[in-house]
Amino acid sequence: MKHIIFGFTFVMALLLPLSAAQAAADLEINTPAISTLKSSMQARHPQLAPFYSSGAVGFSRDGLVAVRDAAAVPLAQRQALNSLVAAENKDRNALYAEIANGNQHPEWEPEIRATFAKRWADKAQGGWWVQDGSGWVKK
């Protein structure tokens, strides 16, 4: 009996890290909802890019975009800019939630958001503005 219990404990101890490693393999990002959000953001990017370059819009540390210098945009364009930023953030919020839900872990949303915030900032082009722990920084 002792052997059985020992054996059971040993096998379980071996299996547990295995199941954890399996969960780490990949995140599902090929759902229809994610593809839709991705194309919508892709189509919007050429409109947003000039605002990234001018510094009017920057990448906030919560994984969204934010108007950081409205003065860099002519008054007539500001309303359009605000709509653009709002639409982009709506897509981004939906994207983070969709990735978390699509992987059966809605509670991962904050970590997914944080991961994206870091990667958007890392991949941002030189001259674009990103928000770090202390404030806005020009790359």
Partner 1 sequence: MKPLYWALAAAMLLPACVTINIYFPAAAAEKAADRIIDDVWQLQDKKAAPAAPAAETPAAQPAP
User: Which residues in this chain contact partner 1 in the complex, by CB under 8 A?
Assistant: 1-2, 5-6, 8-9, 12-13, 16, 19-20, 23-27, 29, 34, 38, 41-42, 45, 95, 99, 105, 107-108, 111-112, 115-116, 118-120, 123
Of the pair 35, 79, the CB lying nearest partner 1 is at 35
Q: Please, what is the minimum distance in Å from the beta carbon of residue 101 to partner 1?
A: 14
Enumerate residues 6+ apart whose C-beta is below 8 A from 56.
Answer: 67, 68, 69, 70, 72, 73, 81
Of the pair 71, 107, the CB lying nearest partner 1 is at 107
Q: Please, what is the minimum distance in Å from the beta carbon of residue 82 to partner 1?
A: 20
Phi, psi of 124 (to 5 degrees): -60, 145
Q: Please, what is the minimum distance in Å from the beta carbon of residue 58 to partner 1?
A: 15
Specify the length of the chain in residues: 139
Q: Is 27 helix (H, G, I), strand (E, B) or coil?
A: coil
Q: Is 68 helix (H, G, I), strand (E, B) or coil?
A: coil
Backbone φ/ψ region at 132: left (φ over 0), alpha (ψ -120 to 50), beta: beta
Of the pair 78, 89, the CB lying nearest partner 1 is at 89
Distance CA 103, CA 33 (A): 13
114 near 123, Cβ under 8 Å? no
Of the pair 6, 138, the CB lying nearest partner 1 is at 6
Of the pair 9, 82, the CB lying nearest partner 1 is at 9
Q: Please, what is the minimum distance in Å from the beta carbon of residue 50 to partner 1?
A: 14
Pick the closest to residue 121 from 66, 63, 81 (CA basis): 63
Q: Please, what is the minimum distance in Å from the beta carbon of residue 74 to partner 1?
A: 25
